Amino acid sequence: MKLRVRHGIAAVVVGTVALAAAGCSATASAPATPQFDPNAPVTITVGDLPSTQAEAARKTFLDSVDAFEKAHPNVTIETSETRWDNGSFSALVAGGTMPTVMSVPFTNTKQVIDNGQVADITNIAGPLGILDRVNPDTLKQAQDDAGNTYGIPTSVDALGLIYNRELFQQAGLDPDDPPSTWDEVREAAKTITEKTGVPGYLQMTEEGQGGWIYTATVYSQGGTVEDPTGGEVTLDSDQSVDALKTVHDMYWDDKSMGSTVLFSLKTLMQEYAANRAGMFIAPVQTYEWLNNVYDIDLSTIGATHVPQAEGGPYGALLSGNVQMFNPKSTPEQLNAAAEWVDYYYFGKYTDEETAVANAKAVVADGGVVGLPGLSPLSPEAYDQYRKWIADYINVDPAHFTGYTDSLAEIPLIPEPATRAQEVYADLAPTVQQALTDENADLKALISDASSRIDRIISQG
């Protein structure tokens, strides 16, 4: 499916316009095609090896490394558990210890490209045909304004409203008609609390996750946190106050959010799995995580779009990850690493035999196959993949209708363009103050947060 990205809002849209208007300049600024022997012996390091706590995922990763090396006898892969950390990435690059390739969240791709901390792979991944298979809207998350490519997006997600179908039924609500607006969420949350005694709605408030979800609620009200270039703060608005007031009033007036204020995604999933949460905003992939970690009846999980304010739809927050490359790598290493990304992350989507074998293995291991949602692949490649695995899909698409239908209706807005992780972390206490102080001055909280974020993004 083709992503719909909100025009006039996000940096990615600016990139679209710039690329269309400046195709010649993009060509002129592209680096020369490197000359190298793709069959020369080469050693690369790949990051994001799952930890020993994720035994099955780690085994799959290591088995894939063995299979790749057999298919590419000139390539030796060294694995690393190194994964993105906002506080240590610069040191990895400066110290020369960044893996040849590792995952970088959408929140930081612009920053690391602008800082010259990742390699330009335009003339490496292009000839391999990898870029042709990637959804062009998603690919913009890995490109500069001139259209040069610095990574390969391998995951993409739009936040949704996860809801408990069983609690909906207990409260007399129709689980096939979930709330669509914030007013409807408030009413449903109150009803769930009144009828079942558990919180009807909960929200992540801890650290970066708290600011992340709050940003999604600002988008859903028609506001933004930064302008499309990431050079100016736009948080100080009526929409941001409305987003804060909604959860404040649900907590203090409706009393539909329980008594606990601090929640992470992990603790929210614990509450949900124990039937103690009616609704919460999170990635739709939460369905898979709930299945992997908790003994839960998957038929109780429903997903719809992030509720919108009256007058919308305004927007849903788009997130994801890009595989990006060490700028000190040789062309031979970049080529081998790009082939690894194509093999490991896209192989099951682009080869029928691999797709079916993978789906069979996941089902046999109790996993989830065919979770509806966005794909980093082109619409054609993703549709073909869904047809290949049709016999193994074990997710009821009817429970996701509200979410999947929205993907063509609600604009998808990328995360703040500058220092998003730091911005998210700074916003979390603002949400916490609204939920711990009944008489909090919400406009003042937003104004103060805006000033702090202005200082954060002024660092570039």
Q: Where are the alpha helices (DSSP H) in 173-264?
A: 182-196, 207-220, 238-249
Give me the phi and psi of 45, to 5 degrees please: -115, 130
What separation in angstroms does the CA of 103 have from each of 5, 42, 118?
Answer: 22, 21, 11
Give me the phi and psi of 60, to 5 degrees please: -60, -45
Does 211 lie in the same domain as 69? no
Does 193 lie in the same domain as 139? no
pLDDT tens digits, 341-360: 999 999 888 889 888 988 88
| Spatial distance between the Cα atoms of 336 and 38, rounded to a whole number of angstroms | 8
| Spatial distance between the Cα atoms of 347 and 324, rounded to a whole number of angstroms | 18
Q: Which two tokens stand for residue 100?
A: 């040849």
Does 170 lie in the same domain as 109? no
Q: Is residue 378 part of a domain?
A: no
Q: Which two tokens stand for residue 301?
A: 């999980």
Does 226 lie in the same domain as 204? yes
| Largest Cα span, the chain | 69
Q: Is residue 88 part of a domain?
A: yes
Given a contact cutoff of 8 angstroms between Cβ atoms, the answer to whether 139 and 447 are in contact is: no
Given a contact cutoff of 8 angstroms between Cβ atoms, the answer to whether 224 and 413 are in contact is: yes
Does 217 lie in the same domain as 273? yes
Q: Is residue 19 part of a domain?
A: no
For residue 390, give the DSSP letter: G
| Spatial distance between the Cα atoms of 311 and 426, rounded to a whole number of angstroms | 29
| Spatial distance between the Cα atoms of 365 and 43, rounded to a whole number of angstroms | 32
Crossing angle between the packed helical segments 352-364 and 379-388, to the nearest 10 degrees: 60
Q: Is residue 194 part of a domain?
A: yes
Does 223 lie in the same domain as 302? yes
Q: Is residue 362 part of a domain?
A: no
Residue 155 CB burial class (10 angstroms; 0-12, 13-18, ≥19):
buried
Whether the bond between 313 and the residue before it is cis, its omega within 30 degrees of 0, is yes
> What amino acid is encoded at 14 in this protein?
V
Quick one: pLDDT at residue 375?
Answer: 87
Does 237 lie in the same domain as 92? no
Closest of 385, 408, 386 to residue 397, by C-alpha: 386
Does 201 lie in the same domain as 136? no
Q: Which two tokens stand for residue 115?
A: 């800082």
Does 225 lie in the same domain as 187? yes
Does 165 lie in the same domain as 143? no
Three-class secondary structure of residue 226 per DSSP: strand
pLDDT tens digits, 369-416: 999 888 888 888 888 999 999 999 999 999 999 999 998 889 989 899
Does 293 lie in the same domain as 255? yes
Quick one: pLDDT at residue 22?
Answer: 30
What CATH number does residue 330 fall under?
3.40.190.10
Q: Is residue 179 part of a domain?
A: yes
What are the residues whose beta carbons fall under 8 Å from the beta carbon of 379, sequence distance 6 or more?
1, 2, 135
Q: Is residue 259 part of a domain?
A: yes
What's the domain count of the chain?
Answer: 2
Q: Quote the domain boundaries for residue 294.
A: 158-315+401-458
What are the residues whose beta carbons fall under 8 Å from the beta carbon of 424, sequence distance 6 or more?
107, 208, 209, 210, 211, 212, 215
Q: Between β-strands 279-283 and 151-164, what pairing exists: parallel, antiparallel or unpaired?
A: antiparallel
Q: Please list the ranges in the chain whose pLDDT falls under 70.
A: 1-33, 460
Does 185 lie in the same domain as 333? no
CA distance from start to end of the chain: 34
Q: Is residue 184 part of a domain?
A: yes
